[in-house]
Structure 1
């Protein structure tokens, strides 16, 4: 029997206060409200009050609803939330943290930003807080999450709120009707063969859905995992660009051919949402993408609930190939309320908070993918039995420091963790999406991408030389 999960958070004590970082500069007025998340700028956090800037994803909205009645009631700390769409919140966080204005104490950052911000001195290390708060149980956080939220100095700078990896989702009934058995650990050639066999198995059904929409967080995320397992890389350890190298080219040609021959209609415009809808509506037999999609596929009102199988991300040369992503909490170095900020983070990322969500809002809404203990809770497993184990396996085997067959100059699985990557990845994705649309060849797309990557590589070669 799993350990019982309390419905109320534990008593949170204050760790020893650490020195605040230096606050400099000004920041634009940002929307904020202590209740609804919208309105005027923050009034400035003070004693027993913190300002939190976060993305407006459903899990964060749930957190906002529960904070006053539970965290504030327990600790006396008021939390003033600013809640914005993803693109907007990234811009605001970048402005706030780069200027060290100190207007916000806590922000949601991903495992892409946190190592970069840590190396820039914009976020505060959390090691001392973790050491002084053993009830938080850092050892329960999945190790790849801890690794991906650490800086080059090895210190911890973020705590995950929820996380994801990637896996292959497929219609078990469609494959069974065709006499096909999905391997538990498929290779990409096996997936391509299955896609060809089930293409058109039902009217309007594509063999597979793969993202083709431009964007470093759209097409480039799954494509880079394919590049990794085919033996390619964006950059070698000594910052040589390899975008038109053999492994990168072979992987991209495979990806483009697969989606053109057996993929969804409108693939050059298809991202996560479009592929999710395709699988739900019966327009695709398979989909390789984020583990977080499973909750929607298994929702009570989903027409494919109970019809989807989940297996490991396909591989070629590597043992695993799933990506790693998390929305996490970090404390601004300039915050003068670091102790209260940690108390909020330690509650929001705690086992107790997951139990609170499960008992008050439903176990399907638990922000999972960060703690091993989540996958021992019977009530959660009852809701997530179809995908819980594959999700845990995918996250647990993700290796952000060694995702391919050769050493890398920077961490990251579906991205390269350098500030230049969003622009580089987006521009290369536009070229590859054009190849998916048939407006150019893969060779032409990657030759242009290589020029862009070489420009980035030269900057790092100069710094290291």
Structure 2
């Protein structure tokens, strides 16, 4: 009996002494856009399938996210195990050896289903360095009721002149309706994404074939003066503070007649948060008849920095968040219209999605017509539609974006903003050795 008691005591002591296996925690830096917020709301599925991994989210405003992750990865800080980055950063950082290859994702990830242009934009020499969570071009969203009230009909392929005239006629200051909402917030991925894509359609370019800055040319003057004039006539007050999220809110509240922005916004202007969901129409981004439209190409993607010490756990999460089963999860919980767009060929072959998403067809066309290898009317030495794929671009374009936002706020003229942008870009490029 005494022996049995001793055995029981020893067994109990050993049970207490063995620590529970703790879950491995990964930290994800992401942007505060709607699709990312939806993903965080569906984490119960991931937790159930992978109880050995916990996730810490760092959700940031777009400009802040870019600054934080760029600083962290360039210094090898190791603060994050997964980064939310885009088609600008991935090729540069992958080439620098800062990102972990994702070529070994499991077969059920179905990497060949990724839309070729998006997969190519996230690869270097055949190595996939980021997995696209959602991808986008840009297009025109508009209020069909206001368009009809103005006595107009939106063409499938509008010109900028038509957009400007329509915006003027749709503006109703007494009822707080702005004819047009466009990005004005300074940032290389905020106002400069819109204005750079717009400038392509006006025949402008960032650099000529010898890497000389081009802000002192007529096409750039035409672009910026048109943008500022249209926003003064028909845009919202305080537009220099408005980026993607601010304009989305305005449109959902019925305060914008026309909004030209990311195709990924399509689901949010027709969902339950939108007071005008049943009145939204979609058209291509505008042009000026020169052969280029003002639409971009982008993918918000998940990548693993080489500084992460939890790379396998990070790959497990990326496989869940960007794999084909995630689309089915979103469809089941939120409806097909809420599935992250633009990444997989199969989504645009899915009749359930095509029937649920009135923006799907226009998204596919818009993404197909954006050409990063031939973005401008005249030849250029760079790739990228709404950005220039060189490391110096982010810093330069952030400063240029500040000049353009200042002009939108009425603090300087278009000519002054362009002159200063020419000086900034020339100085920075010369310092970089171009």
TM tier, shorter chain?
A: 0.7 to 0.9
CA contact (8 A) 2:192 2:401 kept: yes
CA contact (8 A) 1:144 1:400 kept: no
- What is the match of residue 24 of structure 1? none
User: Aligned partners of 2:387, 2:242: CA distance in 1, in Å?
Assistant: 19
- What is the match of residue 267 of structure 1? 239
Structure 1 position 172, deviation (Å) = 1.0
- What is the match of residue 51 of structure 1? 26
User: Aligned partners of 2:235, 2:384: CA distance in 1, in Å?
Assistant: 27
- What is the match of residue 295 of structure 2? 322
The unaligned stretches of length 5 or more in structure 2 are 1-20
Structure 1 position 88, deviation (Å) = 5.0
- What is the match of residue 20 of structure 1? none
Match of residue 413, structure 1, among 367, 382, 385: 385
Matches within 5 A, 1:30-45: none
CA contact (8 A) 2:150 2:166 kept: no
Offset from partner CA, 1:59-117 (integer Å, 9 cap, x none): 334434544x5446546652433423145544443344234455644322222221221
Matches within 5 A, 1:6-405: 49=24, 51-55=26-30, 57=32, 58-67=34-43, 70-71=45-46, 73-74=48-49, 77-86=52-61, 87-100=63-76, 104-127=80-103, 129=104, 133-151=106-124, 153=125, 155-200=127-172, 203-316=175-288, 317-335=290-308, 337-384=310-357, 386-405=358-377
TM-score between both structures, scaled by the size of structure 2? 0.84
Structure 1 position 314, deviation (Å) = 0.6
- What is the match of residue 38 of structure 1? none
- What is the match of residue 13 of structure 1? none
- What is the match of residue 15 of structure 2? none
Structure 1 position 53, deviation (Å) = 1.8
User: Aligned partners of 2:123, 2:363: CA distance in 1, in Å?
Assistant: 22
User: Aligned partners of 1:64, 1:269: CA distance in 2, in Å?
Assistant: 27
Q: Normalized per residue, which structure has more helix?
A: 2
Structure 1 position 241, deviation (Å) = 0.7
User: Aligned partners of 2:345, 2:123: CA distance in 1, in Å?
Assistant: 19
TM-score between both structures, scaled by the size of structure 1? 0.79
The unaligned stretches of length 5 or more in structure 1 are 1-45
CA contact (8 A) 1:53 1:93 kept: no
User: Residues 406, 83 of structure 1: CA spacing in aligned structure 2 closer, same or farther, 3 A cutoff?
Assistant: same
